[in-house]
Amino acid sequence: MMTRSAGRQTTTPQGGRTDGRTGRGGGRTKEATSRVGGELVVRLVIKVVKEVTEDFMACNPKDYDGKGGAIVYTRWIEKMKSVQDMSGCGANQKVKYIAGLFIGKTLTWWNTQVQTRGREAAVGMTWEDFKDLMIKEFCPNNEMQKLKTEFWCHVMVGAGHAAYTDRFHELARLVHHLVTPENKRIERYIYDLAPQIRCLHVSHSLSL
């Protein structure tokens, strides 16, 4: 459309816009803002992961070579659980960081798991599934059977309450399927207390 203003002819586009580039410029601004926001999120994630990694390694986690059987495995995994808690290691990071401590035959075993399952599936398994997998691999069946027998026969002797409790928890961690759910663990613990201690516990429970 042609208009006359102050003796000059000007052209006004349909729709009243005087510059067709305005709309496109607004779109570019939104895209740039979105890109910057995405970059900030990525940087934040990288920073958090780096901090957790540094905290984890600062706790001096011990390498694991798969030797020593069930007892060595149990003590190592318990220490690593403490390291995870202290470093703020997230649930989705536990397997990845612990697997980074494997050496020798454990590293060979883990590489096989990664090749078979795929890296994403291997590091993405739950912590409980990961521990069960390790027990099957590094805790011999004959040793596990002996531990099961010891657990069922484990009783408190005399006044050795502390020794009974410590060994009970150590065995329970190795044969956790025998004491799951938690109420089953509690019942078993009470059942094998010395009679005088068990009676005191029952009397206390009835009085509550």
Q: What are the residue boundaries of the structural domains of the chain, listed by start?
A: 55-139, 142-207
3-class secondary structure, 194: coil
Please give the structure tokens belonging to residue 171.
């065995």
pLDDT of residue 48: 42
pTM of full prediction above 0.85:
no
pLDDT tens per residue across span 34-92: 655 555 555 544 544 445 556 655 677 899 999 998 889 988 988 888 888 888 888 88
**Tens digit of pLDDT per residue, the chain (208 long)?**
544 444 445 454 455 454 544 455 555 666 655 655 555 555 544 544 445 556 655 677 899 999 998 889 988 988 888 888 888 888 888 999 899 999 999 999 999 999 999 999 999 999 989 998 998 899 888 888 888 898 889 888 876 888 888 888 888 888 888 888 888 888 888 888 888 777 765 554 434 4
CA distances from 91 to 30, 128, 172 (A): 35, 11, 22
C-beta of residue 134 within 8 angstroms of C-beta of residue 147: no
